[in-house]
Structure 1
Amino acid sequence: MSEEVKKFKITIDGQTAEVLPGTSILEAARQIGGKSVPPAMCYYSKLEASGGRCRTCLVEVSKGSEADPRPMPKLVASCRTNVMDGMEVKNLSSDKAQEGRKAVTEFLLVNHPLDCPVCDQAGECHLQDLGYEHGNLDTRTEFKRNTYDADDLGPHIKLNMNRCILCARCVLAANQLTGEREHGILFRGDHAEISTYLNKALDNDFIGNVIDVCPVGALTDRTARFASRVWFTKPMNASCKCDKCSGKTTVYLKGDEVVRVTARKDQWGEVEEFICDTCRFERKNLSDWNIEGPRHIDRHSVISLNHYEKPKDELRVLDNPMAKEISEKDEK
């Protein structure tokens, strides 16, 4: 009979949980849930060796463990730091962590253009959320921004390197989902960029998943480019019979038109099951899909404003006291 593994106790912003040894602080925070979960733009639980690049998940460890209660002297990346028994962590309750996240956001926005009005990722962009919460109105850098020409990485994928934050998710996804990888991070330092080898096209049955894992608008779907703002579409769970993948997707409808197709994502914005390029790029007719029902978007971004489910308590929508009085009169 195997011995029961002793779990480690961790407290994050006053909330306590027990997790298995080897669990990162970020994963422990996700198990607790709520607003204490640090943001993550490079970490992806479905991809091996992800994390540790963007530093948006910085937290303050006020107590290392029961055995060594000393606080860690610097902020740590929660996606790369494992839990110790008795550890106490501050995220929202730490001014130091919030200042660190603000500085990281400013650094990520040094070369990032103000493309939100024309970017297909607007409304789903993690950097847009961070910029709204922590970004500065003006830049302090005196240097000219790095600029690149938009590039077509094959018939279906558009690369806007100007928007890339070098999280390397797309490289890891191509490494682990496809047999051959034909793109990567070239050069070093501030000259580093995502590119293909000798201008090759990305051609693989599952290469379209690099679009879904991209946290910003650097990699976009050419078949859905500029078709519609995401908040003007209706995300629906849909499925089809596919020989290559599970066929479980989210289709974004504008009327009866299928604007785009993506894999289904969890509450952290991570793909549940990767889908093939046939489902993503070629099945754009409503008759191709079995519509299962509305997809609940569990995000605080602008896409969450379109609710397709009837509210359980309709009166809570009416926050204006005058509106409540008028509503009560109408009922009488």
Structure 2
Amino acid sequence: MVKVTIDGIEIEVEEGTTILNAARQVGGDIVPPAMCYYSKLEGSGGKCRTCLVEVAAGSERDPRPMPKLMVSCSTQVQHGMVVKNLTSDRVKEARAGVTEFLLANHPLDCPVCDQAGECHLQDLGFENGKEGTRFEEEKRTFAPRDIGDKIKLHMNRCILCYRCVYTANQLTNKRVHGVLNRGDHAEISTYIEKALDNEFIGNVIDVCPVGALTDKTFRFKSRVWFLKPMNAHRDCPTCQGIATVWMFGNEIQRVTGRKDAYGEIETHNGKTAWLCNTCRFESKDVAQWTIEGPRVINRHSVISQGHYVLKNPLEDKSTVKNLK
């Protein structure tokens, strides 16, 4: 075990823990944002640079500060290390620059994007973005494409985090999509005459932090804050069958994996609860699921606001109106 101090808070973690995961053990606002890192995907991280932090003291043995800002998702803690995140002006300035860079080619289509209301890029822009923009050039544009019978690709929104590529590599037998070309021509695409049709390929929608990969069975049906997310499970021979079903009245509008506070699929019984395509796309009948109860979404979101009563409404008549 080693001791590390992050924004004045000392915590003891296992040796080999990254700064980002050490901050997540503390929780709260000191956790750096991460657009590309995904703890359930091996090799992820190091692409977006939103998790940069200042290391004011390298270790107890060598207390000298590290001259450059460090990527917290891949930098391991050392005993006696002192890290500054929210307390560093250098970090705030650098994160604002990274946010501006990620938004340089991103379209302003939040009003029509299915990811609105649960988009990590919206959160990043709100917390770290600047009021104005210096970008004067034309944004690069791509036409929306069907890359599977139930998956739509909006390359204009993609930030090239590589999460979907790692997901396909590690969950499917044969990946047929990836990052093509280089530099400002780089794009997510499928190989010629190929489509995403693996039984677990729908998970690329869950891992995408923006609205680049969307569910065609839910496309333009509703805003997520109009829906009620419910914990649910079903007997499934392919996956664990553990999901969040998003309901409007008594109808299921869409099915997603259960995500934690950092937008990552939760682990159940020691395994990541990835959803199969049958549960995600083809099981929209309420009778196919066992509804466990409300799922409270608390990541910078109003999705759960005013939807649920967590006690018996008969005990307090003033809460009955929230059931409507």
TM range (shorter): over 0.9
Equivalent-residue separation in structure 1 for 2:202 and 2:156 (angstroms): 20
Q: Secondary structure at the match of 2:165?
A: helix
1:51 partnered with 2:45: yes
Residue of structure 2 equivalent to 1:248: 242
Deviation at 1:305, TM superposition (A): 3.1
Deviation at 1:304, TM superposition (A): 4.6
RMSD, aligned CA: 1.1
Equivalent-residue separation in structure 2 for 1:237 and 1:302 (angstroms): 17
Residue of structure 2 equivalent to 1:316: none
Equivalent-residue separation in structure 1 for 2:200 and 2:299 (angstroms): 26
Residue of structure 2 equivalent to 1:110: 104
Matched AA of 1:239: H
Q: Secondary structure at the match of 1:143?
A: coil
1:78 partnered with 2:78: no
Matched AA of 1:301: S
Is residue 231–residue 306 contact of structure 1 (8 Å, CA) maintained in 2? no
Equivalent-residue separation in structure 1 for 2:304 and 2:131 (angstroms): 25
Residue of structure 2 equivalent to 1:225: 219
Equivalent-residue separation in structure 2 for 1:16 and 1:31 (angstroms): 11
Equivalent-residue separation in structure 1 for 2:301 and 2:64 (angstroms): 37
Residue of structure 1 equivalent to 2:114: 120
Residue of structure 2 equivalent to 1:302: 302
Q: Deviations over 1:258-284 (max 9, x none)?
A: 110001111111012101000000011
Structure 1-normalised TM-score? 0.90
Residue of structure 2 equivalent to 1:92: 86
**Alignment equivalent of 2:136, drawn from 135, 142, 164:** 142
Q: Deviations over 1:27-47 (max 9, x none)?
A: 000011111000101000000
Is residue 234–residue 242 contact of structure 2 (8 Å, CA) maintained in 1? yes
Q: Deviations over 1:172-199 (max 9, x none)?
A: 0000000000000001111100000004
Equivalent-residue separation in structure 2 for 1:248 and 1:124 (angstroms): 20
Equivalent-residue separation in structure 1 for 2:73 and 2:304 (angstroms): 26
Gaps of 5+ in 2: 267-272, 312-324
Q: Secondary structure at the match of 2:192?
A: helix
Count residues in correspondence: 305
Matched AA of 2:23: A
Equivalent-residue separation in structure 2 for 1:166 and 1:113 (angstroms): 15
After superposition, residues 143-158 of structure 1 pair within 5 angstroms as 143-158=137-152
Deviation at 1:246, TM superposition (A): 0.5
Deviation at 1:309, TM superposition (A): 4.0
Residue of structure 2 equivalent to 1:274: 274
**Alignment equivalent of 1:176, drawn from 170, 180, 186:** 170
Equivalent-residue separation in structure 2 for 1:223 and 1:289 (angstroms): 18
1:212 partnered with 2:206: yes
Residue of structure 2 equivalent to 1:198: 192
- Structure with bigger gyration radius: 1
Q: Deviations over 1:163-221 (max 9, x none)?
A: 00000000000000000000000011111000000041101000000000000000000
Matched AA of 1:280: R
Is residue 228–residue 304 contact of structure 2 (8 Å, CA) maintained in 1? no
Equivalent-residue separation in structure 1 for 2:149 and 2:129 (angstroms): 35
Equivalent-residue separation in structure 1 for 2:76 and 2:132 (angstroms): 36
Q: Secondary structure at the match of 1:302?
A: coil
Q: Secondary structure at the match of 1:117?
A: helix
Residue of structure 1 equivalent to 2:125: 131
Give % identity.
Answer: 67
Is residue 228–residue 307 contact of structure 2 (8 Å, CA) maintained in 1? no
Deviation at 1:307, TM superposition (A): 4.8
Residue of structure 2 equivalent to 1:329: none
Q: Secondary structure at the match of 2:256?
A: strand
Equivalent-residue separation in structure 1 for 2:255 and 2:168 (angstroms): 19
Residue of structure 2 equivalent to 1:289: 289
Q: Secondary structure at the match of 1:127?
A: helix
Equivalent-residue separation in structure 2 for 1:295 and 1:303 (angstroms): 10
Residue of structure 2 equivalent to 1:326: none
Is residue 41–residue 215 contact of structure 1 (8 Å, CA) maintained in 2? yes
Is residue 150–residue 161 contact of structure 1 (8 Å, CA) maintained in 2? yes
Deviation at 1:302, TM superposition (A): 3.4
Residue of structure 2 equivalent to 1:325: none
Residue of structure 2 equivalent to 1:162: 156
Gaps of 5+ in 1: 1-6, 312-332
